[in-house]
Each structure stands twice: as C-alpha cells, then as structure tokens.
C-alpha cells in the first residue's frame, strides 16, 4: 500500500569525533539518550572525551524541569543516580519519589463512654487500619478482641477521607530554551551519527556549532509541526508505554531535514536541521524503552511521489515551553500520580499473598475507593465541574464489577486465571466509569 522499503541499520564506529575531529574511541562512554531521562545505551565511538565533558555541566540537565515529574511519579532514576527525583514546591511541600507528599502517618485517638474517636493522617486506609491495630492495644493496655478488630475494619471502611492533592500545589522553575534545544539537537545528531554514515554531508556547520558551543539562536531551530503522515513514534509507543525516541525526516521535496526528540514518551521537541537537503526521501527512527531494553533503529526509504511525511507549522515561542511544563506537572502530579499510587498499592496488597483472603479483598477495595475519590477530585479540578460519585455508588459498582465474584473465591490461589481476571476487571471498570463521568460533567458545564 505505502511505497517504501525499510532496513535495520547497523551502528557506525567513527574514526574521529563528529564535532571536532578529536581522538576516538573515547575513554568515557557517551549515553545516546541522556541518563537523566533513563537512557542506558552507551558508545565511545561517536564523540571525543572533551566534547562529551562539555555537555555535562548545563546541556545534559536542560530537561530536568520537565522530566523530574515523570521520573518522580513512576520512581524512575538515571543510571548514576541513587534515587528518583524529589520535587519541592513553592509552599515548601516536599514530594518524595512515587508522587508521595511528605506525610508522616499520625493518629489521634481517645475513648469516651466506651466509644472510640479517632482522626488519622495516612496515605491510604490500609495504613490507617494498621495504625489503629498497633496503637489501640497500647492505649487500652491489652490486646484487641476479634470482635474489636472486626469493628475497627468496619469503622475504617466507613471513615470519611479528606484528600490533599499534590496537583494543587504551586511550582516554581526556570527553563532555558537554548539549553533545551542544544540537548535536543545533540541527542538527534548522536542518533544520526550512529546509524547514518552520510549524515555530516547534510548537516551544516551552524547546526553543529549551536549544539556543541551554543553559537546561534534557538529559535532558528525549534518548530511546531503538522500533518505527520508517517509517525513511527506513535507505532512504537503502542508496545513501549515509556520510552525515549528520535525520528529524523529527510525531505527532498522541500529540501528540509526535520527531526523530533521524544523524552519519556511525553516531551516532544521538533527541530529543523537543514533547508538545503538534497538526497533520498527517508526516515530514521531510534527508540529506547525507559525501563530497560535494546536500542531499536529503523531506516525507511520512500518513493519521491509519497506525500510529505511532516511539515513545519510555525516557529516555537517561549510560551510553548512554559505551557508544556505547566501541563506536564499537572498531569504528572494529578492523574499519573494516582495511577502510579494505585499500581504500587495493588503490588503491596498482593505481595507475599498466595490465596484470596477477606483482608486482601478489603485492602483492594480501599485502594480502588481512594483511587476513584482522588481521580474524581482531580477531574473536577480539570473540568471545572463537580463530579458526583457517592461512596455507596462506588462500592455497589465495584461489587457488581468483579469484587462480589472475588468474594466467592476466598481461599483460591491468586495466580489462578479467574482470580487474575477478577482483580483486573474492577480497574478496567473504574477507568471507563471515570471517563464517562468526566464527559457528563463536561457536557453539564457546556449545556447547564
């Protein structure tokens, strides 16, 4: 159908540094994708030690204001880093890796007329339950009876949750488009050098000078694009939810080379590398999964009659950078953080358990309830209209969509396919329900 041929290119070994002609192989290996964004693949046969070292103090850190959110939320860290990044906000809130605002779990309890009153601060109901089970015996001076433990479980289940969302905090950051574009071009050039032995014939000295020495203006390179006819990144992202990638479009019809860098599957930068390209119509793609895996290159050659694969829309302005940063931080600390938290919670609940138990189902239900509650709040914030979903409705829906059937399987192995399906089903339901509620809220706002 599409008139093209493709090949898997082999990595090049350069005799001398493509920037300065310096000595190779280098002593220090260079990451293809920056290690700050989880890049792992390294080579010593593209650029020399002097050039490599020149990027480290500033250029390699240019995307940290953007990447730190994704890295924090999913607890990702670079190869040479001890921990995933911590985020500090303007209100001096510290957000630990895993989008965890620094909260010390605490519990206030008192007993009056034989009744227990308590108020706790904890990341989830399971932690609150553990706090009660630990502290109440100390307060009473004896261990808890079975009926009291049951009573605590019921009470925690019914406890009202007040959530503080990390997404509502104010952030302050400074960005530098010049350093960002140098980091972008540097990464793209490394991918080109690795797989296209002729790339230097098409790249002008001003591109190399900007990338290596910062000579020139970032706005000569940074562009927004449209009509992406061939989008290898989109196809790649279906198999790799989190990745870094470079896509270079060689376009003889308008004499351009346009290239794109994607960082952590979220941050997109398009650059224009040449306005005088004369060569075949081709596309180079290089991708690397964030969670580890091999560097995957692909070279496509198209017939000249093929429509342009991508076109320049306009030059980027500083507002574009700022808007993207705001959006990224909101998505990361909002929905992405809740999702990451739900996954961690489920992992924790299933850890060390071999069979379905009452406790497992309760903890799972709590995790889902607090996920829905928080997502509802976030969606209300985003859409600007209140999403109403009572806890009774949530519970009923969860029971109808897997939990009731799971209760009938108490004692069965958690690795049985039926149990696995029943653990997944409520999550899938919750997602579709939240999307539906969001749509309803949106249409209410547009048509009150």
- In the complex, the residues that contact Zn ion under the rule CB under 5 A are 17, 19-20, 22, 48, 51
CB of 4 to Zn ion, least distance (A): 35
Check if the beta carbon of residue 426 is closer than 8 Å to that of residue 401.
yes
What b-and-e string marks burial along 282-292, b requiring 16 or more CB atoms within 10 Å of the CB?
Answer: bbbbbbbbbee
CB of 167 to Zn ion, least distance (A): 43
CB of 185 to Zn ion, least distance (A): 15
CB of 49 to Zn ion, least distance (A): 8
Of 54 and 310, nearer to Zn ion (C-beta) is 54
CB of 197 to Zn ion, least distance (A): 18
Q: What are phi and psi of 184, to 5 degrees?
A: -60, -55
CB of 94 to Zn ion, least distance (A): 40
Of 51 and 259, nearer to Zn ion (C-beta) is 51
Q: Cα separation of 118 and 245, whole Å?
A: 51
Of 20 and 93, nearer to Zn ion (C-beta) is 20
CB of 198 to Zn ion, least distance (A): 19
CB of 57 to Zn ion, least distance (A): 16
Strands 256-263 and 267-274: antiparallel
Of 125 and 186, nearer to Zn ion (C-beta) is 186
CA angle 147, 152, 155 (to 5 degrees): 125
Q: Cα separation of 326 and 330, whole Å?
A: 6
Of 126 and 192, nearer to Zn ion (C-beta) is 192
* Tokens standing for residue 206: 């001003």
CB of 59 to Zn ion, least distance (A): 14
Of 24 and 378, nearer to Zn ion (C-beta) is 24
Of 22 and 197, nearer to Zn ion (C-beta) is 22
Of 209 and 359, nearer to Zn ion (C-beta) is 209
Of 189 and 422, nearer to Zn ion (C-beta) is 189
């Amino acid at each position: 159908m599409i008139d093209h041929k493709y090949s898997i290119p082999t990595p090049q070994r350069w005799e001398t540094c493509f920037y300065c002609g310096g000595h190779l192989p280098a002593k220090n290996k260079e990451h293809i994708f920056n290690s700050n964004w989880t890049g792992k693949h390294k080579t010593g046969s593209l650029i020399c030690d002097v050039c490599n070292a020149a990027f480290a103090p500033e250029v390699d850190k240019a995307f940290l204001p953007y990447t730190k959110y994704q890295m924090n939320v999913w607890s990702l860290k670079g190869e040479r880093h001890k921990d995933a990044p911590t985020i500090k906000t303007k209100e001096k809130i510290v957000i630990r890796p895993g989008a965890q605002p620094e909260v010390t779990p605490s519990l206030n309890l008192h007993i009056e007329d034989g009744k227990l009153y308590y108020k706790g601060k904890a990341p989830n109901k399971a932690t609150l339950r553990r706090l009660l089970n630990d502290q109440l015996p100390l307060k009473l001076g004896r261990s808890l009876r079975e009926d009291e433990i049951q009573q605590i479980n019921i009470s925690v289940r019914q406890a009202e949750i007040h959530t503080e969302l990390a997404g509502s905090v104010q952030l302050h950051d400074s960005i530098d488009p010049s350093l960002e574009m140098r980091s972008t071009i540097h990464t793209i050039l490394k991918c080109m050098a690795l797989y296209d032995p002729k790339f230097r014939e098409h790249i002008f000295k001003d591109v190399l000078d900007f990338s290596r020495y910062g000579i020139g203006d970032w706005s000569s390179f940074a562009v927004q694009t449209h009509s992406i006819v061939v989008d290898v990144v989109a196809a790649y992202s279906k198999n790799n939810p989190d990745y870094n990638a470079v896509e270079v479009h060689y376009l003889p019809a308008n004499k351009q080379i346009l290239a794109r860098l994607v960082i952590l599957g979220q941050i997109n930068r398009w650059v224009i590398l040449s306005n005088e390209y004369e060569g075949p119509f081709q596309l180079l793609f290089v991708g690397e999964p964030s969670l580890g895996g091999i560097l995957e290159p692909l070279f496509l050659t198209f017939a000249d009659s093929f429509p342009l694969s991508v076109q320049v829309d306009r030059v980027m302005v500083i507002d574009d950078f700022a808007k993207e940063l705001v959006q990224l931080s909101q998505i990361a600390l909002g929905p992405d953080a809740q999702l990451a938290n739900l996954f961690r919670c489920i992992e924790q609940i299933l850890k060390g358990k071999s069979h379905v138990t009452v406790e497992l189902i309760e903890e799972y239900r709590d995790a889902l309830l607090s996920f829905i509650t928080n997502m509802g709040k976030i969606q209300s914030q985003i859409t600007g209209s209140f999403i109403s979903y009572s806890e009774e409705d949530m519970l009923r829906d969860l029971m109808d969509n897997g939990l009731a059937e799971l209760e009938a399987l108490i004692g069965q192995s958690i690795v049985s396919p039926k149990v696995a399906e029943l653990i997944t089903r409520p999550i899938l339901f919750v997602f579709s329900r939240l999307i539906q509620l969001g749509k309803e809220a949106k249409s209410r706002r547009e048509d009150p």
